[in-house]
Amino acid sequence: MQNAQTAPQYRVWGADNIAYGPFELPMLVTWIKQKRVSAASWIFVQDEGQWVPAAQLPELKMFFDAKRGHPQAGGAAASGSDAAAVVQPENLRRIKIFAEMDGAQLESFLSYLDVVKVNKFQHLFRKGDHGDAMYFVLEGEVRAMNLIDGKETTLFTLAAGESFGEIALLIHGPRTADVVANEESLLLMLPAAAFERVIREAPALAAPFLLAIARVITNRSLDMSRKYEGAIRSSRAISAIRL
């Protein structure tokens, strides 16, 4: 028997065939206002143990027009996230880390992202800043740099399709470099809080994304190992010449 103090829990069956949730009624209402849930969306009511169309739930009927299945004009329909408002799901295809997701998954993931516009030569963040988000370069170009012996040293440059900040997303540690825009750039940001929501609400959507992150981190680690090995060989060769 359910504790009287526990709020009802719901799950939503998305168009991408992924079940989202569980969450409480206020979040479900927010999804309706964001048009992520329609009258025909299937909702799992945890207390009753069954799936029903959203429009058939007494607590949700007031949000739908009985004829068309859209939120009633009397209720202020909130827009989705910044990214969902200005970016089309197919635009995510430009980003390598999303390459293996299908269209429905991309549309779902887009709702967790925010748009960040960075002007030319503007800092996105600086070394030592608290890191709690990952970024994807949709348009433009950025560079990661540090000051070494008082001189600016570029560590790497990222163009459209690339991503960065995976470690900060996972461990929320300090940034290890400055990131500056080489030109006016459009980025997508996945905050740690939104990422945790993906894991909690839609594990089936989080799984391919985590696999893609693991591949990126592994490839970068292997690349750094090769570069480190090459640097050691060069150093030894120079030392041998001097001897």
Angle at 157 between CA 153 and CA 159, to 5 degrees: 160
Average pLDDT over residues 14-21: 84
**CB 125, CB 179: distance < 8 Å:** yes
Given this structure, which CATH class describes domain 82-226? mainly beta
Instruction: State how beta strands 185-191 and 151-159 pair.
Output: unpaired
Predicted TM-score (pTM) above 0.75: no
Domain boundaries, the chain: 1-78, 82-226
pLDDT digits (tens, 9 = 90+) for 151-208: 889 988 999 999 999 989 988 889 999 999 999 999 999 999 999 999 988 888 899 8
Indicate whether 51 pLDDT > 80.
Answer: yes
For residue 66, what pLDDT band results from cuts at 50, 70 and 90? Answer: very low
Beta bridge partners of 125: 179
Pick the residue with more confidence: 225 or 42?
Answer: 42
* Distance (Å, whole) CA 240 – CA 242: 5
